[in-house]
């Protein structure tokens, strides 16, 4: 059976949903094989095996002070050894860059933003900020495909799976590369990553500088906090929370839009959400055109009331 090489940049335990989705998807196309940019310990190998990985490629040394160039070189080297039917990555900015460079190194076409990959490697993707769906195919080389989070239902783990084979990949020259000279961690919120979250509560201009109700509801729902550009530009919340054409594109199960009018650039970032709830005091806000459930009302009474009701039901 042909293998499918799954690139995992920083695997962590428990295995993130996005990684489990990629392994599950790989298993529907072929036999999952992992290229892990960091060396895996035994617990990690067991976790990868339990999600279908039969082989794990690891770099012979540390890659992390150079940016994507070294990771792309590692992935391309692993692919040259493995000769998989396809290569799957996540859809973060960095994963897409690694895919981009790997594609050139292998002479292979790259498709980003995939939401489905058929067994014959036809790829369904969302384009023009979610306003179109297209079906694409790689014509040249080994298909390199980056897959959006929440595209696949991860298969349950099989704790009895056999240990994967480990293969060490010698470090090769990645060429000129940027180096990380400093890194400062931001506040750790314990919330899921925006791009991968199943629930997002997003606030906009209507939050008037107070994101408390948005954060409270997000935490109750185990979700991430998002924001419109107006809210991030105003400095009410960090820029990494921005959803929209110039921020992140998200496809959660539930997107709650609070105090956001829903200009076209904001819609572009969230219109593929499965369920959209909108709360805005302006009945003419464009966001209501795409909302499954819309509330014309004040975010500062609706959101806290909803949060109280959830607490009451759980008590």
Subset of residues 154 to 183 that bind another protein, contact rule: CB under 8 A: 175-183
Q: And the tokens for 221?
A: 């729902």
| Cis, peptide link before residue 14, omega less than 30° from 0 | yes
105 binds another protein (CB under 8 A): yes
Residue 258 binds another protein (CB under 8 A): no
Which of 1-9, 41-49, 80-88, 127-135 is the region at the interface with another protein (rule: CB under 8 A)? 127-135
239 belongs to the binding site for another protein (CB under 8 A): yes
Establish if 199 lies at the interface with another protein (CB under 8 A): yes
DSSP codes of every residue in 16-34 = PHHHHHHHHHHHHHSEEEE
Compare residues 117 and 303 and give the one whose CB is closer to another protein: 303
Tell me whether residue 27 or residue 204 sits nearer to another protein (CB atom).
204
Region of 242 (left: φ > 0; alpha: ψ -120 to 50; beta: rest) is beta
Distances (CA, A) of 253 to 46, 89, 277, 279: 30, 21, 11, 17
Binding footprint of another protein, residue count (CB under 8 A): 96
- Residue 110 in tokens: 């790259």
Minimum separation from the CB atom of position 212 to another protein (A): 15
* Near another protein by CB under 8 A: residue from 5, 194, 214, 270: 194
Smallest separation (angstroms) from another protein to the CB of 110: 6
Tokens representing residue 73 in the block:
């070189």
Q: Strands 110-117, 123-127: parallel, antiparallel or unpaired by DSSP?
A: antiparallel
Residue 28 phi, psi (nearest 5): -85, -15
The residue among 81 and 93 lying less far from another protein, judged by its C-beta, is 93
| Minimum CB–partner distance for residue 162 and another protein (Å) | 34
Q: List binders of another protein among 295-314 (CB under 8 A).
A: 295-298, 301-310, 313
Q: Does 112 bind another protein (CB under 8 A)?
A: yes
Task: Find the shortest distance in angstroms from Cβ 37 to another protein.
Answer: 15
Instruction: For residue 315, state whether it binds another protein (rule: CB under 8 A).
Output: no
Q: Which stretch binds another protein (CB under 8 A): 28-36, 61-69, 81-89, 152-160?
A: 61-69
SS3 of residue 156 by DSSP: coil
Among 1, 132, 162, 170, binds another protein (CB under 8 A): 132
* Sequential DSSP letters for 223-266: -EEEE-HHHHHTTSS-GGGBBSTTSB----SEEEEES----HHH
159 vs 235 by CB, closer to another protein:
235
| 286-294: long-range contacts, CB 8 A cutoff, minimum separation 24 | 286/261, 286/262, 287/257, 287/260, 287/261, 287/262, 288/262, 289/262, 290/262, 291/257
Length of the chain: 315
The answer to whether residue 288 forms part of the interface with another protein (CB under 8 A) is yes
Of 20-28, 44-52, 155-163, 189-197, the window that binds another protein (rule: CB under 8 A) is 189-197
Q: How far apart are CA 279 and CA 298, in angstroms?
A: 7
Nearest distance from C-beta of residue 282 to another protein, angstroms: 12
Site for another protein contains 62 (CB under 8 A): no
């Amino acid at each position: 059976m042909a293998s499918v090489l799954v690139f995992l940049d920083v695997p962590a335990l428990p295995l993130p949903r996005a990684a489990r989705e990629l392994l599950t998807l790989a298993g529907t196309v072929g036999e999952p094989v992992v290229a892990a940019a960091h060396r895996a310990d035994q617990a990690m190998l067991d976790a990868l095996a339990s999600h279908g990985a039969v082989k794990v490629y690891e770099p012979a040394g540390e890659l992390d002070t150079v940016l994507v160039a070294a990771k792309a070189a590692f992935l391309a080297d692993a692919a040259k050894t493995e000769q998989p039917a396809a290569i799957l990555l996540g859809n973060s900015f960095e994963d897409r860059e690694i895919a981009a460079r790997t594609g050139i190194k292998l002479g292979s076409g790259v498709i980003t933003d995939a939401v489905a990959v058929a067994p014959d490697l036809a790829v369904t993707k969302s384009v023009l900020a979610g306003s179109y769906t297209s079906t694409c195919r790689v014509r040249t080389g080994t298909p390199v495909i980056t897959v959006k989070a929440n595209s696949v239902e991860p298969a349950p783990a099989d704790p009895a799976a056999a240990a994967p084979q480990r293969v060490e990949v010698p470090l090769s020259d990645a060429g000129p590369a940027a180096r990380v000279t400093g890194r400062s961690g931001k506040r750790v919120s314990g919330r899921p990553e925006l791009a991968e979250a199943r629930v997002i509560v997003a606030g906009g201009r209507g939050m008037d500088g107070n994101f408390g109700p948005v954060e409270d509801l997000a935490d109750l729902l185990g979700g991430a906090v998002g924001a419109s550009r107006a809210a991030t530009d105003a400095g009410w919340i960090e820029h990494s929370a921005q959803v929209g054409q110039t921020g992140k594109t998200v496809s959660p199960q539930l997107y709650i839009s609070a105090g956001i009018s829903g200009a076209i650039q904001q819609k572009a970032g969230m219109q593929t959400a499965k369920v959209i709830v909108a709360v805005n005091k302006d009945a003419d806000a464009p966001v209501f055109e795409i909302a499954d459930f819309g509330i014309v009302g004040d975010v500062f009474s609706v959101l806290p009331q909803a949060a109280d009701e959830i607490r009451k039901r759980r008590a």
